Amino acid sequence: MVGVDQVLEKLSTVIDPDLKKDIVSMGMIKDLELNSGNLKFTLELTTPACPFNVEIEDDVRKVIGELDGINNFDMKVTAKVMEGRSLDADTAMATVKNIIGVASGKGGVGKSTVSLNLALALSQTGAKVGLLDADVYGPSIPLMLGMDKVNMEVADNKLQPAESNGLKVVSFGFFAEQEHQAAIYRGPIISGILKQFLVDTNWSDLDYLIVDLPPGTGDIPLTLAQTIPITGILVVTTPQDVASNVAVKALGMFNKLNVPILGVVENMSSFVCPNCNENHYIFGQGGAKKISEKYNIPFVGEIPLNSGIMEGSDKGKPVMITAPQSPSAEAFRKTAKNIAAQCSILAARLQEEMKAEATPSTN
């Protein structure tokens, strides 16, 4: 008769392709019950946005099918996002599992568009997602979400985020009385406001908080990197070499601050001609891939140049909401999954580091 040990041994042959670890040692098998050949357990994936959930689930079914003596098999599949931040009891924002800063070397590369659609793509997988528009010099998220005149509420001394399309949202734009007002603020004030948006806001439980940073390497990215532990930075670039080189400057700053780089995404990558259906690389090909290879950073995706993306952003109707089946939405979805996977990889590394610290040295 098959026993629990054999089941676990078999399950431990299934490897998570991202984490490169077996699913048993990663603690993904929960509530296992085996009674007279009736097997039941929960497979708990590291994120609902895992790019490999179907593959892992299929592998589990396959290996269980290879065991003799299983009459009935019942598997529940769930996901619990891993903590991608080194948190201890009194860390600020301890209920936010992952904080992802979205940076670019210069403006206009589509950083806000990418931040918003990635936040929506993650949220559509079932994850709890917040979006902090920290682009003080051009807060465009309210416009992109069609959020007019938002009055932020304060309860228990905490700012209450607004809600839109399932996202919790805070933007510098909600507070600027006139356009470009924020641009006149100076460094310390701006840093202070950002700290409040992070720490004095009731984000409650979030799996991912996306922070849309201003372009470049100014006070805001610096404050984010130094105020709280964050999971990492996503760098947005366009294929042009010029944009790529400025992106490298941003990378350099985060590297110096020891903030992990989650990956680089190439926006406005190529254009599919609606007439001939051919893919045109208008701005050249492979800028972000070159960066990823040269600096050993994951390449997490490419987003096409598409008028639907632009119109959606500019009219307050993001493509992830209005055209979720479009190739553009699919590109965001794929990128979001790769980013979630990178967060899980960093979280697993953090867990190991913490375990190593907790284990007394034998020397």
Q: Which of 46, 47, 113, 344 binds ligand ADP (CB under 6 A)?
A: 113
> What phi and psi values does residue 212 have, to the nearest 5 degrees?
-80, 105
Options 69-77, 246-254, 280-288, 299-307: segment touching ligand ADP (CB under 6 A): 299-307
Cβ nearer to ligand ADP, comparing 236 with 346: 236
Options 33-41, 109-117, 201-209, 339-347: segment touching ligand ADP (CB under 6 A): 109-117
Beta strand ranges found along the chain (DSSP E): 15-16, 21-22, 29-35, 38-45, 72-79, 96-103, 129-133, 153-155, 158-160, 162-164, 167-171, 206-212, 232-237, 261-266, 271-272, 279-280, 299-302
Q: Which of 47, 98, 112, 344 binds ligand ADP (CB under 6 A)?
A: 112
In the complex, minimum distance from the CB of residue 117 to ligand ADP, in angstroms, rounded to a whole number: 9
CB 339 within 8 A of CB 262: yes
Of 127, 348, 102, which is closest to residue 224 (Cα–Cα)?
102
Q: Which of 32, 310, 323, 354 binds ligand ADP (CB under 6 A)?
A: 310
The alpha carbon dihedral of 356, 360, 362, 363 has a sign of positive
x/- track of binding to ligand ADP for residues 144-173 (CB under 6 A) = ------------------------------
Tell me how crowded residue 210 is: count the other CB atoms within 10 A of its CB. Answer: 28
Q: Which of 9, 55, 241, 314 binds ligand ADP (CB under 6 A)?
A: 314
In the complex, minimum distance from the CB of residue 162 to ligand ADP, in angstroms, rounded to a whole number: 19
Between CA 8 and CA 218 the distance in angstroms is 51
Q: Which of 171, 267, 270, 292 binds ligand ADP (CB under 6 A)?
A: 267
Of 320, 145, 137, which is closest to residue 216 (Cα–Cα)?
137
Q: Which of 306, 335, 338, 344 binds ligand ADP (CB under 6 A)?
A: 306
Q: Which of 19, 43, 246, 268 binds ligand ADP (CB under 6 A)?
A: 268
Q: Which residue is nearest to ligand ADP (CB)?
A: 110
How many residues in the shown chain lie near ligand ADP by CB under 6 A? 18
Options 36-44, 101-109, 216-224, 276-284: segment touching ligand ADP (CB under 6 A): 101-109
Cβ nearer to ligand ADP, comparing 110 with 232: 110
Chain-centroid distance, C-alpha 17: 18
Is residue 305 a contact residue for ligand ADP (CB under 6 A)?
yes
Is residue 104 a contact residue for ligand ADP (CB under 6 A)?
yes
CB 315 within 8 A of CB 146: yes
Helix count and strand count (H, E) for the chain? 11, 17
Residues in Cβ contact with 64 at an 8 Å cutoff, skipping those fewer than 6 apart: 7, 10, 11, 39, 70, 73, 75
Is residue 313 a contact residue for ligand ADP (CB under 6 A)?
yes
Options 38-46, 106-114, 156-164, 341-349: segment touching ligand ADP (CB under 6 A): 106-114
Residues in Cβ contact with 46 at an 8 Å cutoff, skipping those fewer than 6 apart: 16, 18, 19, 26, 28, 79, 80, 81, 82, 344, 347, 348
Beta partners for residue 208, in sequence order:
98, 129
Q: Which of 40, 42, 73, 107 binds ligand ADP (CB under 6 A)?
A: 107
Is residue 119 a contact residue for ligand ADP (CB under 6 A)?
no
Between CA 102 and CA 67 the distance in angstroms is 46
Cβ nearer to ligand ADP, comparing 60 with 235: 235
Of 30, 81, 25, which is closest to residue 53 (Cα–Cα)?
81
Residues that bind ligand ADP (CB under 6 A): 104, 107-113, 140, 267-268, 303, 305-306, 309-310, 313-314
